[in-house]
Amino acid sequence: MTRLLTFFLAALLLCAPAHAGVLPDDRTDILYHLYDGGGVEIDGPSVLVRKKAGKNLSIVGNYYVDMVSSASIDVVTTASPYTEERKQWSLGADYLRGDTTMRFGYTNSTESDYDANTYNFSVSQDMFSSLTTLTLSYALGNDTVGKSGDPAFERDLDKHIYGVGLTQIITKNLIATLNFETMTDEGYLNNPYRSVRYLDDSDILGRGYSFEEELYPNTRTSNALGIRARYFLPYRAAIESEYRFFTDTWDIESHTASLTYVHPWRDYTFEAKFRYHDQTGAHFYQDLFSRSEATNFRGRDKELSPLTSYTYRLKASYAFLNDGKSWGFIKKGTVTASVDMLLIDYHDFSDLTALAPIGAEPLYSLDANIFQLYFSFWY
Amino acid sequence: MVRVLARYGDAMRSSFYTLGQVLVTLLLLSAASGCSGIEPWVKPYERDRLADPIMALDGDPVSSSYLQHVYESREGARGGEGAAGGGCGCN
């Protein structure tokens, strides 16, 4: 892989492209996000600033905060509600040379029991008068997993992400993009707070089951292939469809599809979106194991269980500053509000809060609302 | 099991390497195209509709990365959504 990337870079630097690429627009976004559902509330800000430095360089920085207050189904059945804060910042640069754009980035995420550092690099090449853009990317993640209340607990997790993307102008009205990503994880992949449930006649609470620690494999390799196409409708509106196929060595296989409609009207832009996701469960997932330590690997994370999710989005944006008006150096300004209604049906994850007899518990389902409000400025 | 996973990983890496070789070949062809003058079937001056902000593949990068994080935390799948890959070059 290293050899390949070196060769690729050398090829890019030796070639003298005939047409110039473009750097992203200078902009600032100030966003407030709120997730509310399943006993969990997460909110916080995200601020992104992007600015060119000369003709060939664009610098971008992002600061993001999650303030979590959780009494989720996992927490109320095996632990205690908690609050915590996650802070993330990232810094990146885009360097343009002819038709070639190189991107470098670093992201750090910190919370009381988890520290993550990610380094990413990508090269994009515009071809055929920018009709086609080819991108190769690589990211390296070094995470340190901790456990609240156990300062001696510290585990490492390394991630490698290899990606290739192709963006293609197909007609005057249609643009499409194809992305393929392979990810490998190696290290501690468990959630240190989650437990599995197993049949236990000797349970002192009389439930007929007990809990024990999860045990995940130490490696995971996944592949994802996504395709997206956006079409300009004759009356100035846009429609976008997207599909992703995902598979991994834990036997999770998923299909994700979405359809988006964008409709501008005067200084407003309205958007409606429907997203569908369906996945199989990990091979070591069980809602109820037959006994303690029943299998080599075991997990009861609902995210790894077979599930189907549906999202309905409504979004509206208003351009309060546009052509002809400006605030000093700010040429354009918009305010956007959106709500995403997320419904997840779990096909093999029981709701233990229902206090039904063992084996007769209803399946759990999640109903959450995701709100976003943000201001965007271009300069 | 470990052996099977390792073999699967090797196969993936090998496939990816092959895919990479194909892409490098494409890259070299594209570089050559700068001189050979392959005509694009959608000319730069015909891309006004694609340059419309409503056609941006990632018009709200902060919002889309936030939602990607929301889904990756609640579903077992990840990746494949990628960045737009440089856009259409029609600014």
| B88–chain A nearest CA distance, Å | 6
| A24–chain B nearest CA distance, Å | 8
Asked, for residue B83, whether it belongs to a domain, the answer is: no
**With an 8 Å Cβ cutoff, are A180 and B43 in contact?**
no
**With an 8 Å Cβ cutoff, are A221 and B5 in contact?**
yes
Asked, for residue B30, whether it belongs to a domain, the answer is: yes
Reply yes or no on whether the pLDDT at B85 is more than 50: no
Please name the member of B63, B79, B91 whose beta carbon is closest to the beta carbon of A374.
Answer: B63
Residue range A155-194, pLDDT digits in tens = 999 999 999 999 999 999 999 999 999 999 999 998 888 8
Measured between beta carbons, the chain B residues lying within 8 angstroms of A194 are: none
Task: Compare A217 and A7 and report the one with higher pLDDT.
Answer: A217
Asked, for residue B91, whether it belongs to a domain, the answer is: no
How many structural domains is chain B composed of? 1
Asked, for residue B81, whether it belongs to a domain, the answer is: no
H/E element, B22: helix B2-36
Q: What is the CA radius of gyration of chain A?
A: 24
Within 10 angstroms of residue A323's Cβ, the number of other Cβ atoms is: 8
Mean pLDDT for A112-131 is 93
Please name the member of B27, B50, B74 whose beta carbon is closest to the beta carbon of A125.
Answer: B27
Task: Compare B81 and A272 and report the one with higher pLDDT.
Answer: A272
For A263, the closest chain B residue by CA position comes to: B54
CA angle A46, A47, A49 (to 5 degrees): 150
Asked, for residue B85, whether it belongs to a domain, the answer is: no
Asked, for residue B79, whether it belongs to a domain, the answer is: no
Reply yes or no on whether the pLDDT at A132 is more than 80: yes
With b meaning 16 or more CB within 10 Å and e meaning fewer, what string describes A15-34?
bebebebbbbebbbbbbebe
The tokens of A159 are what? 């991630």
Residue B2's Cβ-count burial label (10 Å; 0-12, 13-18, 19+) is exposed
Task: Compare A366 and A204 and report the one with higher pLDDT.
Answer: A366
Mean pLDDT for A240-252 is 97
Residue range B47-68, pLDDT digits in tens = 999 999 999 998 999 999 999 9
Confidence of residue B31 (pLDDT cuts 50, 70, 90): low
The residue of A5, A6, A172 whose CB has the most chain B CBs within 10 angstroms, and thus the best one to mutate to test that interface, is: A172
**With an 8 Å Cβ cutoff, are A22 and B87 in contact?**
yes
Chain A residues 284-313 with a CB less than 8 Å from chain B: 296, 303-304, 307, 309
Measured between beta carbons, the chain A residues lying within 8 angstroms of B1 are: 296
- C-alpha distances (whole Å) from A319 to each of A46, A218, A250, A253, A264 are 20, 49, 46, 41, 11
**Can you give the residue range of the structural domain that contains B58?**
2-74
Distance between CA atoms of residues A105 and A217, nearest Å:
29
| B11–chain A nearest CA distance, Å | 11
**With an 8 Å Cβ cutoff, are B57 and A167 in contact?**
yes
The confidence score (pLDDT) of residue B87 equals 34
Residue range A302-327, pLDDT digits in tens = 999 999 999 999 999 999 998 778 88
For A306, the closest chain B residue by CA position comes to: B76
Measured between beta carbons, the chain A residues lying within 8 angstroms of B18 are: none
- Average model confidence (pLDDT) for chain A? 91
For A171, the closest chain B residue by CA position comes to: B42
Residue A40 near chain B (CB below 8 Å) = no
Asked, for residue B51, whether it belongs to a domain, the answer is: yes
Reply yes or no on whether the pLDDT at A76 is more than 50: yes
Reply yes or no on whether the pLDDT at A266 is more than 90: yes
Asked, for residue B31, whether it belongs to a domain, the answer is: yes
Task: Compare A48 and A327 and report the one with higher pLDDT.
Answer: A48
DSSP state, B57?
T
Write down the ipTM of this complex: 0.91
Whose tokens are 């392979």? That residue is A182
Inter-residue contact A142 to A156 (CB < 8 Å): yes
Mean pLDDT for A235-262 is 97
